């Protein structure tokens, strides 16, 4: 537990400014610098926000040193073992675990919104079949604001609620449609008799030509992956959603912005990049070559799925996924999967290497997730779309919290200007 500081004094050229210290429920104290520019005529400088709290939040807490992750106070390990994704959605959005009746009502409302307006199918037709599904999702989710006009007014709580329900319910349908479209197969409608994870597998893998049976092992693994990716404090894509929302942009535009940000290989795109890296390594004997590249400052190569801005210990999600990878691949009869062997040996070697130990680089959520998703039959291009649909509830919960925040105002960072001082225009003849 961090010691409780009382005041912070900043002295600049002999002039002292007392800054209030704010205290969290758990975690580091926060120095409130909101009056710093007005009273001290200086900015702070923190590219990448390594030491900056951008907001108050009660949704998710991460202790990077201990490797703790709490959703509304509940440890991710307990939720992964005892809960399920839609219950976690209710928890993240409402702050408390639902009663049985509340859960039944929530699940019924989500189920009733899983279908897309039939005309949205035409949006897909404008994309090339070989488009990355993330490109399709950014486009279609953003285009939902051209459709669902009765859920655009962010100042109307009932419209915010229906927009939230629609996105939690429809993102799996959109992701599955993006996948089907890339295959040239017909879209598969959601089924109200299936649960959330089973429905997604059904929409991805069933075809009209024959019956499709959802394997309960895969459905459980799918639900677990959704839960583990649901929220993660103020990560890059969540901060993007908050910043977009702070301008008053409609909810669909904000979530589309979050999807776009998540796509980057340093963030949610790492699950695809990690599996491609493991495939490129290919066999255990080639691991030292890649460890050396990761340590070589002249080589841009990084171990994908390794390292984290906050975790300086094991990402607790990686621990759960490592066990799930063993369980799922074992139950599927592919426990001797070469990619899994390479991943485990890569982890073992890296965690004994001083470079990774000293820099506190551990496997993160993206290190094992791809191995499970590949075993379930998904192509690597679908890994980040699955991360995006899972994280939609986190983005929406954080977006709603931002709109209800009494301190909320448009996000507008300043800068350290290093460009040219004011100067007069020079006519071309004189240049």
Catalytic residue IDs: 308, 366
Closest CA to 240 of 34, 388, 414: 388
Sheet with 7-12: list strands edge to edge. Answer: 7-12, 15-22, 30-31
Closer of 51 and 155 to ligand SDX (Cβ): 51
Q: Give dist(CA 223, CA 197) in Å, integer.
A: 5
Q: Are 103 and 120 in contact (CB under 8 A)?
A: no
Q: Give dist(CA 114, CA 61) in Å, integer.
A: 30
Residue corresponding to tokens 């991943």:
343
Q: How far is the CB of 266 from ligand SDX (least distance, A)?
A: 4
Q: Give dist(CA 189, CA 111) in Å, integer.
A: 12
Q: Are 389 and 175 in contact (CB under 8 A)?
A: yes
Closer of 77 and 161 to ligand SDX (Cβ): 77
Closer of 304 and 386 to ligand SDX (Cβ): 304
Task: Work out the angle between the directed axes of helices 270-281 and 287-295 (0-180°, nearest 10).
Answer: 130
DSSP state of 45: -
Closer of 309 and 344 to ligand SDX (Cβ): 309
Buried b (16+ CB within 10 A) or exposed e, 20-49: eeeeeeeeebbbebeebeeebeeeeeeeee
Residues contributing to the site for ligand SDX (CB under 6 A): 48, 232, 235, 266-268, 270, 294, 302-310, 359, 361, 364-366
Q: Give dist(CA 273, CA 4) in Å, integer.
A: 41
Q: How far is the CB of 37 from ligand SDX (least distance, A)?
A: 26
Q: Which two tokens stand for residue 426?
A: 């020079």
Closest CA to 234 of 5, 27, 4: 27
Q: How far is the CB of 370 from ligand SDX (least distance, A)?
A: 11
Closer of 164 and 270 to ligand SDX (Cβ): 270
Q: How far is the CB of 272 from ligand SDX (least distance, A)?
A: 11
Q: Which two tokens stand for residue 355?
A: 């470079």
Closer of 302 and 344 to ligand SDX (Cβ): 302
* Chain Cα centroid distance, residue 259: 8
Provide the H-helix boundaries in 206-283. Answer: 216-228, 236-246, 251-262, 270-281
Q: How far is the CB of 228 from ligand SDX (least distance, A)?
A: 9
Query: Residue 107: CB partners within 8 Å, gap ≥ 6?
Result: 86
Q: How far is the CB of 275 from ligand SDX (least distance, A)?
A: 12
Closer of 113 and 295 to ligand SDX (Cβ): 295
Closer of 267 and 322 to ligand SDX (Cβ): 267
Q: How far is the CB of 395 from ligand SDX (least distance, A)?
A: 10
Q: How far is the CB of 305 from ligand SDX (least distance, A)?
A: 5
Residue 55 φ/ψ region, left for φ over 0, alpha for ψ in the -120 to 50 degree band, beta for the rest: beta
Q: Give dist(CA 116, CA 188) in Å, integer.
A: 11
């Amino acid at each position: 537990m961090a010691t409780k500081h009382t005041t912070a004094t900043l002295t600049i050229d002999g002039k002292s400014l007392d800054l209030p210290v704010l205290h969290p429920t758990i975690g580091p104290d926060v120095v409130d610098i909101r009056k710093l520019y007005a009273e001290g005529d200086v900015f702070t400088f923190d590219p990448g926000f390594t030491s900056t709290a951008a907001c108050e939040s009660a949704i998710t807490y991460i202790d990077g040193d201990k490797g703790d992750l709490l959703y509304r106070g509940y440890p991710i390990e307990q939720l992964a073992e005892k809960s399920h994704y839609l219950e976690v959605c209710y928890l993240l959005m409402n702050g408390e675990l639902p009663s049985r009746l509340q859960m039944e009502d929530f699940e019924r409302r989500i189920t009733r919104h899983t279908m897309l307006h039939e005309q949205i199918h035409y949006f897909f037709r404008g994309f090339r079949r070989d488009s990355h599904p993330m490109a399709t999702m950014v486009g279609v989710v953003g285009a939902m604001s051209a459709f669902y006009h009765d859920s655009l007014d962010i100042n109307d709580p009932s419209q915010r609620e229906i927009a939230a329900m629609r996105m939690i319910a429809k993102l799996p349908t959109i992701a599955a449609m993006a996948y089907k479209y890339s295959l040239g197969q017909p879209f598969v409608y959601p089924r109200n008799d299936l649960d959330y994870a089973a429905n997604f597998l059904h929409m991805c893998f069933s075809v009209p030509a024959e019956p499709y049976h959802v394997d309960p092992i895969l459905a459980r693994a799918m639900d677990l992956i959704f839960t583990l990716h649901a929220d993660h404090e103020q990560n890059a894509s969540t901060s993007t959603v908050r910043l977009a929302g702070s301008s008053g942009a409609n909810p669909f535009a904000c979530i589309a912005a979050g999807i776009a940000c998540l796509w980057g290989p340093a963030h949610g795109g790492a699950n695809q990049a990690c599996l491609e890296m493991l495939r490129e390594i290919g066999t255990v004997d080639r691991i030292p070559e890649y460890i050396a590249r990761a340590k070589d400052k002249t080589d841009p190569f990084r171990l994908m799925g390794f390292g984290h801005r906050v975790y300086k210990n094991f990402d607790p999600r990686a621990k759960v996924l490592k066990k799930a990878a063993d369980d799922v691949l074992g139950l599927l009869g592919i426990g001797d999967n070469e990619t899994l062997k390479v991943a485990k040996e890569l982890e073992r070697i890296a965690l004994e290497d001083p470079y990774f130990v000293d820099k506190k680089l551990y496997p993160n959520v993206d290190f094992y997730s791809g191995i499970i998703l590949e075993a379930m039959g998904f192509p690597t291009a679908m890994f980040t779309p699955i991360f995006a649909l899972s994280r939609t509830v986190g983005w929406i919960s954080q977006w709603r919290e931002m709109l209800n925040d009494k301190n909320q105002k448009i996000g507008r960072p300043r800068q350290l200007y290093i460009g040219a001082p004011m100067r007069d225009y020079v006519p071309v003849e004189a240049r």
